[in-house]
Amino acid sequence: MSQIWQRDAVIRHSACLARSYRHFTARELSPGAGDERDLARQLYTAPFVLVSHGTEADPVLNYGNAAAQSLWEMTWDELSCTPSRFTAEAPNREERARLLAAVTANGFIDDYSGVRISRPGRRFLIRQATVWNLITESGAPCGQAAMFREWVFL
């Protein structure tokens, strides 16, 4: 079986992540990436955490790079069917919902910090996360993504 980043759907989604990030922040998610396949590999193996979810009423995670899978202690198959609200403890879900509403309204935020929880229950604080809207090539909303480099286990 091929690496996850080699799957056509993951290559297309990686391009969406990078395109949307550039659109809202005017920055590159993975500077120096070659073609879309190289971009997908770079994002999947990046030293930062990168996750995204779709536009469902109860959004489900649809991408998590290797760093995200390690941090949340999930396989790709587990992560990619998890409602994103389960990445936060129940008391923190209302605050998370406010964050996502602000991102929806403003396109992105660059300074999010909050407590998250792994599948087996390990709590960690993420710092300086960038959260942005995902858009299709035609500009239609298709989800939200988050990227961060800093976290501390609590």
Stretch 93-102: mean pLDDT, rounded? 79
CATH for 4-153, options being 3.40.30.10, 3.30.450.20, 3.40.50.20, 3.40.50.620? 3.30.450.20
Q: What is the pLDDT of residue 151?
A: 97
Q: Using H for helix, E for strand and C for coil, what is the string for the chain? A: CCCHHHCHHHHHHHHHHHHHHHHHHCCCCCCCCCCHHHHHHHHHCCCCEEEEECCCCCCEEEEECHHHHHHHCCCHHHHCCCEHHHHCCHHHHHHHHHHHHHHHHHCEEEEEEEEEECCCCCEEEEEEEEEEEEECCCCCEEEEEEEECEEEEC
Domain limits of the chain? 4-153
Cα separation, 108 vs 122, whole angstroms: 27
pTM: 0.92
Question: In this predicted model, what pLDDT tens digit does every residue of 47-80 receive, in sequence order?
Answer: 999 999 999 999 999 999 999 999 999 999 999 9
- Which pLDDT band, with edges at 50, 70 and 90, does 2 fall under? low
Stretch 122-147: mean pLDDT, rounded? 96
Q: What is the pLDDT of residue 1?
A: 44
Q: What is the pLDDT of residue 147?
A: 97
